[in-house]
Amino acid sequence: MPWRDNPETYGWITRALHWGIAALILWQILGMVLRLALGRMPVVSLFVGLHQPLGATLFVLIAARLLWALAQRRRRPGHGRGPLARATRAGHVLLYALMVAVPALGLLRAWGNTRAFAPWGLPVFPARETEIAWATTLADRLHGELAWALTALILGHVVMALIHALHWCDGTLARMAGRR
Ligand code: HEM
Protein backbone atom coordinates (compact mmCIF):
# COMPACT_ATOMS: atom_id res chain seq x y z
CA MET A 1 0.00 0.00 0.00
CA PRO A 2 1.44 3.44 -0.93
CA TRP A 3 2.16 5.94 1.87
CA ARG A 4 0.64 8.83 -0.08
CA ASP A 5 -2.82 8.99 -1.68
CA ASN A 6 -3.40 8.47 -5.40
CA PRO A 7 -6.52 8.82 -7.59
CA GLU A 8 -7.41 5.11 -7.06
CA THR A 9 -6.94 4.74 -3.31
CA TYR A 10 -5.91 6.36 -0.03
CA GLY A 11 -2.37 5.74 1.24
CA TRP A 12 -1.53 4.34 4.67
CA ILE A 13 -0.93 7.72 6.35
CA THR A 14 -4.46 8.91 5.44
CA ARG A 15 -5.92 5.56 6.53
CA ALA A 16 -4.07 5.50 9.86
CA LEU A 17 -5.27 9.03 10.63
CA HIS A 18 -8.84 8.26 9.49
CA TRP A 19 -9.32 5.05 11.52
CA GLY A 20 -7.30 6.20 14.55
CA ILE A 21 -9.30 9.43 14.83
CA ALA A 22 -12.57 7.54 14.20
CA ALA A 23 -11.81 5.12 17.08
CA LEU A 24 -10.89 7.92 19.50
CA ILE A 25 -13.96 10.03 18.61
CA LEU A 26 -16.12 6.93 19.09
CA TRP A 27 -14.56 6.48 22.55
CA GLN A 28 -15.30 10.14 23.44
CA ILE A 29 -18.91 9.95 22.29
CA LEU A 30 -19.56 6.52 23.79
CA GLY A 31 -18.28 7.78 27.15
CA MET A 32 -20.63 10.76 27.10
CA VAL A 33 -23.58 8.61 25.98
CA LEU A 34 -22.85 6.18 28.85
CA ARG A 35 -22.59 9.08 31.30
CA LEU A 36 -26.01 10.32 30.20
CA ALA A 37 -27.50 6.81 30.34
CA LEU A 38 -25.88 5.45 33.52
CA GLY A 39 -24.75 8.50 35.51
CA ARG A 40 -21.50 8.35 37.49
CA MET A 41 -20.46 4.67 37.66
CA PRO A 42 -16.93 3.17 37.71
CA VAL A 43 -17.10 2.13 34.04
CA VAL A 44 -18.25 5.64 33.10
CA SER A 45 -15.41 7.22 35.13
CA LEU A 46 -12.92 5.37 32.92
CA PHE A 47 -14.31 7.16 29.85
CA VAL A 48 -14.91 10.53 31.53
CA GLY A 49 -11.47 10.48 33.22
CA LEU A 50 -9.74 10.12 29.85
CA HIS A 51 -12.03 12.60 28.05
CA GLN A 52 -9.81 15.66 28.36
CA PRO A 53 -6.37 14.13 27.64
CA LEU A 54 -7.80 12.10 24.75
CA GLY A 55 -9.63 15.18 23.46
CA ALA A 56 -6.36 17.14 23.50
CA THR A 57 -4.64 14.28 21.63
CA LEU A 58 -7.49 14.28 19.12
CA PHE A 59 -7.02 17.99 18.52
CA VAL A 60 -3.37 17.40 17.54
CA LEU A 61 -4.24 14.37 15.36
CA ILE A 62 -7.08 16.25 13.63
CA ALA A 63 -4.81 19.24 12.92
CA ALA A 64 -2.28 16.80 11.41
CA ARG A 65 -5.05 15.17 9.38
CA LEU A 66 -6.25 18.51 8.05
CA LEU A 67 -2.73 19.52 6.97
CA TRP A 68 -2.18 16.09 5.40
CA ALA A 69 -5.53 16.30 3.54
CA LEU A 70 -4.53 19.72 2.16
CA ALA A 71 -1.14 18.37 1.07
CA GLN A 72 -2.79 15.38 -0.67
CA ARG A 73 -5.80 17.19 -2.14
CA ARG A 74 -4.65 17.00 -5.77
CA ARG A 75 -3.59 13.33 -5.49
CA ARG A 76 -6.53 11.64 -3.73
CA PRO A 77 -9.63 10.01 -5.28
CA GLY A 78 -12.22 12.55 -6.45
CA HIS A 79 -15.96 12.58 -5.75
CA GLY A 80 -17.03 13.08 -9.39
CA ARG A 81 -19.53 15.70 -10.56
CA GLY A 82 -23.17 16.53 -9.97
CA PRO A 83 -25.36 17.24 -6.93
CA LEU A 84 -24.38 14.09 -4.99
CA ALA A 85 -20.68 14.89 -5.40
CA ARG A 86 -21.28 18.48 -4.25
CA ALA A 87 -23.25 17.21 -1.21
CA THR A 88 -20.41 14.77 -0.39
CA ARG A 89 -17.82 17.55 -0.57
CA ALA A 90 -19.98 19.85 1.61
CA GLY A 91 -20.50 17.01 4.13
CA HIS A 92 -16.75 16.40 4.33
CA VAL A 93 -15.97 20.11 4.81
CA LEU A 94 -18.55 20.23 7.63
CA LEU A 95 -17.06 17.08 9.18
CA TYR A 96 -13.59 18.68 9.20
CA ALA A 97 -14.98 21.96 10.60
CA LEU A 98 -16.73 20.17 13.49
CA MET A 99 -13.78 17.85 14.13
CA VAL A 100 -11.63 20.97 14.65
CA ALA A 101 -14.24 23.05 16.51
CA VAL A 102 -15.32 20.44 19.11
CA PRO A 103 -11.89 19.73 20.69
CA ALA A 104 -10.85 23.38 20.17
CA LEU A 105 -13.82 24.47 22.31
CA GLY A 106 -12.90 21.86 24.95
CA LEU A 107 -9.37 23.31 25.01
CA LEU A 108 -10.76 26.85 25.17
CA ARG A 109 -12.61 25.94 28.36
CA ALA A 110 -9.49 24.27 29.80
CA TRP A 111 -7.53 27.48 29.01
CA GLY A 112 -10.16 29.80 30.45
CA ASN A 113 -10.97 28.06 33.73
CA THR A 114 -8.94 28.33 36.93
CA ARG A 115 -7.51 24.78 36.98
CA ALA A 116 -4.16 23.84 35.46
CA PHE A 117 -4.43 21.64 32.36
CA ALA A 118 -1.76 18.95 31.93
CA PRO A 119 -2.95 16.16 29.61
CA TRP A 120 -0.78 12.99 30.08
CA GLY A 121 1.24 15.02 32.62
CA LEU A 122 2.32 17.55 29.97
CA PRO A 123 1.82 21.10 31.27
CA VAL A 124 -0.27 22.95 28.66
CA PHE A 125 -2.17 25.66 30.57
CA PRO A 126 -1.13 26.85 34.07
CA ALA A 127 -3.71 27.48 36.82
CA ARG A 128 -5.04 31.04 36.88
CA GLU A 129 -6.65 33.10 39.64
CA THR A 130 -9.68 34.35 37.75
CA GLU A 131 -11.69 32.54 35.15
CA ILE A 132 -11.89 34.02 31.63
CA ALA A 133 -15.66 34.11 31.49
CA TRP A 134 -16.12 34.65 27.73
CA ALA A 135 -14.01 31.57 26.98
CA THR A 136 -15.71 29.22 29.44
CA THR A 137 -19.20 30.51 28.57
CA LEU A 138 -18.62 30.09 24.83
CA ALA A 139 -17.25 26.58 25.39
CA ASP A 140 -20.06 25.66 27.80
CA ARG A 141 -22.64 26.73 25.24
CA LEU A 142 -21.11 25.14 22.17
CA HIS A 143 -18.83 22.18 23.01
CA GLY A 144 -21.59 19.67 23.82
CA GLU A 145 -24.03 20.92 21.16
CA LEU A 146 -21.46 20.75 18.38
CA ALA A 147 -20.25 17.36 19.63
CA TRP A 148 -23.79 15.97 19.20
CA ALA A 149 -24.02 17.60 15.74
CA LEU A 150 -20.70 15.89 14.92
CA THR A 151 -22.16 12.59 16.16
CA ALA A 152 -25.16 12.95 13.81
CA LEU A 153 -22.88 13.81 10.88
CA ILE A 154 -20.63 10.81 11.59
CA LEU A 155 -23.70 8.54 11.63
CA GLY A 156 -24.72 9.95 8.22
CA HIS A 157 -21.16 9.43 6.96
CA VAL A 158 -21.18 5.76 8.09
CA VAL A 159 -24.61 5.15 6.50
CA MET A 160 -23.42 6.62 3.18
CA ALA A 161 -20.23 4.51 3.28
CA LEU A 162 -22.39 1.38 3.81
CA ILE A 163 -24.74 2.35 0.97
CA HIS A 164 -21.71 2.75 -1.31
CA ALA A 165 -20.37 -0.65 -0.24
CA LEU A 166 -23.54 -2.76 -0.05
CA HIS A 167 -25.98 -1.15 -2.49
CA TRP A 168 -23.97 0.67 -5.15
CA CYS A 169 -20.95 -1.69 -4.84
CA ASP A 170 -18.71 1.05 -6.33
CA GLY A 171 -15.51 0.44 -4.32
CA THR A 172 -15.70 3.75 -2.41
CA LEU A 173 -15.34 2.13 1.04
CA ALA A 174 -12.52 -0.11 -0.25
CA ARG A 175 -10.40 3.00 -1.00
CA MET A 176 -10.23 3.63 2.76
CA ALA A 177 -10.67 0.08 4.10
CA GLY A 178 -9.57 -2.27 1.30
CA ARG A 179 -6.17 -3.82 0.58
CA ARG A 180 -5.07 -1.73 -2.38
C1 HEM B 1 -13.13 15.31 19.29
C2 HEM B 1 -12.99 15.48 20.60
C3 HEM B 1 -14.15 15.58 21.57
C4 HEM B 1 -15.42 15.07 21.48
C5 HEM B 1 -16.04 14.24 20.35
C6 HEM B 1 -16.12 15.48 22.70
C7 HEM B 1 -17.44 15.17 22.97
C8 HEM B 1 -18.13 15.57 24.10
C9 HEM B 1 -19.51 15.29 24.38
C10 HEM B 1 -20.46 14.51 23.47
C11 HEM B 1 -19.80 15.84 25.58
C12 HEM B 1 -21.15 15.77 26.31
C13 HEM B 1 -21.94 17.04 26.14
C14 HEM B 1 -23.24 16.97 26.92
O15 HEM B 1 -23.18 16.59 28.10
O16 HEM B 1 -24.27 17.30 26.32
C17 HEM B 1 -18.60 16.47 26.09
C18 HEM B 1 -18.47 17.11 27.33
C19 HEM B 1 -17.31 17.64 27.84
N20 HEM B 1 -16.10 17.74 27.19
FE21 HEM B 1 -15.70 17.00 25.35
N22 HEM B 1 -15.26 16.23 23.48
C23 HEM B 1 -14.05 16.31 22.85
C24 HEM B 1 -12.93 16.98 23.27
C25 HEM B 1 -12.79 17.62 24.49
C26 HEM B 1 -11.62 18.32 24.96
C27 HEM B 1 -10.33 18.54 24.15
C28 HEM B 1 -11.89 18.76 26.22
C29 HEM B 1 -11.00 19.53 27.18
C30 HEM B 1 -9.69 19.55 27.13
C31 HEM B 1 -13.23 18.37 26.54
C32 HEM B 1 -13.88 18.64 27.74
C33 HEM B 1 -15.19 18.35 28.03
C34 HEM B 1 -15.84 18.64 29.29
C35 HEM B 1 -15.17 19.30 30.51
C36 HEM B 1 -17.16 18.20 29.17
C37 HEM B 1 -18.24 18.26 30.24
C38 HEM B 1 -18.09 16.96 31.03
C39 HEM B 1 -18.92 17.01 32.28
O40 HEM B 1 -19.95 17.69 32.30
O41 HEM B 1 -18.53 16.29 33.21
N42 HEM B 1 -13.76 17.67 25.47
N43 HEM B 1 -17.59 16.30 25.17
Instruction: Give the pLDDT score at 40.
Output: 85
Pocket perturbation via mutation, ligand 1, pick of 51, 114, 153 by most ligand atoms within 8 A of CB = 51
Q: pLDDT tens-digit profile of 80-96?
A: 899 999 999 999 999 99
User: By alpha-carbon position, which residue is closest to atom 7 of ligand 1?
Assistant: 147
110: nearest Cα among 139, 152, 130, 83: 139
146: nearest Cα among 179, 176, 104, 112: 104
Query: Ligand 1 pocket, 92 CB below 6 A?
Result: no
At 16 the three-state DSSP class reads helix
Query: Ligand 1 pocket, 139 CB below 6 A?
Result: no
Index of the ligand 1 atom closest to the CA of residue 99: 1
Question: Given pLDDT bands bounded at 50, 70 and 90, which one contains residue 74?
Answer: very high
Question: Given pLDDT bands bounded at 50, 70 and 90, which one contains residue 7?
Answer: very high
- Structural domain count, the chain: 1
Q: Indicate whether 4 belongs to any domain.
A: no
Q: Indicate whether 117 belongs to any domain.
A: yes
Q: pLDDT tens-digit profile of 125-162?
A: 999 999 999 999 999 999 999 999 999 999 999 999 99
CA 12/CA 91 separation, integer angstroms = 23
pTM for the model stands at 0.94
Give the domain extent around 44: 12-177
